[in-house]
Amino acid sequence: MKLFYKWSTIRRLLKYTSPFTRLLSQPKIKKYAMLPPKHEPIFILGAPRSGTTIIFQIITHYYDLLYPTNLVELSRENLYFGFWLNQLFSKNKPHNCFRSHYGITEDCGLFAPNEKGKFWWEWVPKGSLDRGQLDEFIRNEIKQTLYSVINRFNKPLIFKQLVLGIQIPAILEIFPQAKFILVKRDPLFTAQSLYREAQDVKIDIFKWVGVWPRGYEKLTGLPLHTKIVRLIHLIYTEVIENYKLISEQNKCVINYEDLQGDGERIYRKLQPVLKDVPLKADILSSNIKAANKQKTSADEFEKLKKEIELLDWHFLEEI
């Protein structure tokens, strides 16, 4: 509770002062956005509960790059100022945060990685996007904002925002050389994790997930276990179809099942995208482990398994 009020105070202060900080930041944003990009943005893709959060935490802890923190999210009206403020106090040190509550890392402190990305909702909807569907003004604002931060600090900038996986054509229109990391997980355990989450939060699953692939409307009214499995299938289908549009040198795939306490394996899997990004901590010594285990009742698990078996998932193995 004390943390909530403390952060609420910071949020209100940053929100109320944002007109002033934006006025001060605008010349800097224009200056750095006009320079040739020193790096390209990096995006983490995948389905909900597929391991994207832990991969995001691993990358941002071990690699020397920029990423939205809880402090940056609090100053979302002015991302440039938020990143400046974050760099001033955090010095981009390893955050040591490898836990979350459905992606929320507030108990790790102001400098922990944040994936809420509420600033993205000022720019993009929650559904699929093709080329030409984003307004030119929005495209320019996204481009200027991200490149100004990248050029100011001379570091790549990474985001974990799952909706962007069904918006890759629109992202490539803005950043043709953007880099992407696709995270995959056994669909059964992805579905089980999302099923447990849906039961816990007791919020409409579409509203909670915030990723609306084509055809999701047809899932309304289905039993929860069926709805979740088919939603994951729709998301993965669209994400992987879009993933094929990305140049080979700008993408890589890592599986949740790769997290077996082998830092060298993680490092090797990420190399295609992160080979030019220096390390700020020894990832080879990483001992982070993840495991797929049954965590629902036998009846619930069997229902999810049967729904999985009704659908074709071979496309996941082709990437």
d(CA 29, CA 48): 33
Residue 205 has pLDDT above 90, yes or no: no
Residue 5 has pLDDT above 60, yes or no: no
Res. 119 pLDDT band, cuts 50 70 90: confident
- Lowest-confidence segment of 34-43, 111-120, 170-179, 234-243 by average pLDDT: 111-120
Q: What is the SS3 string spanning 74-101?
A: HCCCCHHHHHHHHHHHHCCCCCCCCCCE
Q: Which residues contact 223 (CB under 8 A, 6 or more apart)?
A: none
Residue 4 has pLDDT above 70, yes or no: no
Query: Please, which residues bridge with residue 180 across strands?
Result: 43, 251
d(CA 74, CA 306): 42
Q: Residue 291 carries which side chain, given as an amino acid letter? A: A
Residue with tokens 């880099």: 179
Res. 3 pLDDT band, cuts 50 70 90: low
| Percentage of the chain lying above the pLDDT 70 cut | 98
d(CA 35, CA 174): 16
Output the six-digit token pair for 213: 């692939």
Q: How high is the mean pLDDT of the chain?
A: 93
Q: What is the pLDDT of residues 160-171, one digit of tens each?
A: 999 999 999 999
> Whose CA is closest to 220, among 232, 211, 230?
230
SS3 of residue 289 by DSSP = strand
Distance of CA 111 to the CA centre of its chain: 16
Q: What is the pLDDT of residues 232-272, one digit of tens each?
A: 999 999 999 999 999 999 999 999 999 999 999 999 999 99
Output the six-digit token pair for 168: 């890759």
